[in-house]
Structure 1
Amino acid sequence: MASYFDEHDCEPTNPEEQYRQNALLELARSLMQGLDIDSGSFDLSDWDQRLPPPAAKAVVQSLPVVIISPEQADKALKCPVCLLEFEEQETVREMPCKHLFHTGCIMPWLSKTNSCPLCRLELPTDNPDYEEFKKDKVRFLFNVIIISVIHSLYSSVTPYEYTRVFSVFVCFYRNGEGKENTD
């Protein structure tokens, strides 16, 4: 493995710097390999160009039915789709995000897309490709966050502290991703 300084064609300003840079590079590489994602080939544009699939039928059917209470009716709450006020004792559907909708408004919506029309919280779908895309997107974002943390740590810790932080990241990554520790 080439060192950070060899890869970037530069010289360290002090010996601690070289150790820290090499440790950062090693951590970044191990994270990239462990995530099984080649960030260069990860393409969000495929699903970004298409509408998400409908919500899973079983999930839609299991949305809780809520009866509008007198307190809710007094607040003049409205269905975000049709903008009509909810009436006392009216039955409505509650999304996981706690937004309320008339059944006749939310059911057609969820038969076309998988998200709350108000906050865009996504429900599961019956489309395995889309579900895999969502998992890949989360893994990719996790990778970006970890790399950002590594870069911010670079200038703020001693080599000893960095070694400790590195071991914590490796343990967190292996346990957080549900991967077995093969060491």
Structure 2
Amino acid sequence: MADYFSELGFRPLAEGEVPDHGAHLLRLLRDSGNFDLLQMFVELRGEGGSSAPAASKAAVQALPLVQPLENENCAVCLKNYDEESQCRMMPCKHKFHQECIFTWLKQTNSCPICRKELPTDDLDYEAIRKHKERESERNQQLESLHNSMFS
């Protein structure tokens, strides 16, 4: 079992490296469950709060090239695929023109159709996302436990 620090990808500071106090405050608010304060802090940092960061370049480049089916169209530009068009398929199996999806993923990290997220290069965003996933798992486990006890 991995410890807390290696699970979240933390590492010791290198020689002469200065800690990011904003990130420390962000982690403290996240870990203590104060999401209202967390949201206020993110807005104060000027990151907009509600929009997700761009998808990581490695994740975008790893999207496989696929052949579109006849009479399919791209959900971003709404044009039909032609024979020369290059399509990329997201992990959720949705297909898009290569240029369309690359432009989209420079703005946000999610599928334009189903909102399934790709990884980002933003460590704070990824840490918050992991925290929310763990919290959702815990809530599902508690619900399952409750149902098994009282049904």
TM > 0.5: yes
The answer to whether the 8 Å contact 1:53/1:125 transfers is yes
Paired residue for 1:43, among 26, 35, 44?
A: 35
C-alpha distance in 2 between matches for 1:67 and 1:93 = 9
Match status 1:122 vs 2:117: yes
C-alpha distance in 2 between matches for 1:39 and 1:132 = 10
C-alpha distance in 2 between matches for 1:149 and 1:67 = 42
Higher relative contact order, chain-length normalized (CA < 8 Å, sep 6+): 1
C-alpha distance in 2 between matches for 1:40 and 1:87 = 52
C-alpha distance in 2 between matches for 1:97 and 1:149 = 27
SS in 2 for 1:111: helix
Which residue of 2 is the match for residue 108 of structure 1? 103
Which residue of 1 is the match for residue 89 of structure 2? 94
Which residue of 1 is the match for residue 127 of structure 2? 132
SS in 1 for 2:148: helix
SS in 2 for 1:77: coil
Amino acid of the structure 1 residue aligned with 2:72: L
The answer to whether the 8 Å contact 1:39/1:140 transfers is no
SS in 2 for 1:101: strand
C-alpha distance in 2 between matches for 1:42 and 1:62 = 35
C-alpha distance in 2 between matches for 1:149 and 1:40 = 24
CA drift of 1:94 comes to: 1.2
C-alpha distance in 2 between matches for 1:85 and 1:112 = 23
C-alpha distance in 1 between matches for 2:110 and 2:135 = 21
Per mean C-alpha deviation after superposition, the further-off stretch among 104-113 and 44-53 is 44-53
The answer to whether the 8 Å contact 1:67/1:89 transfers is no
1:35-77, Cα deviation, whole Å (9 max, x unpaired): xxx9972527627942011000111112111233xxx12xx10
Structure 1: 5+ residue stretches without partners: 1-37, 157-183
**Percentage identity across aligned positions?**
40
Number of corresponding residues: 114
Cα RMSD of the aligned pairs, angstroms, is 2.4
Provide closer, same or farther for how the CA distance between residues 39 and 55 of structure 1 changes in structure 2, counting only shifts above 3 A. Answer: closer
TM-score of the two chains, using structure 2 as the length reference = 0.66
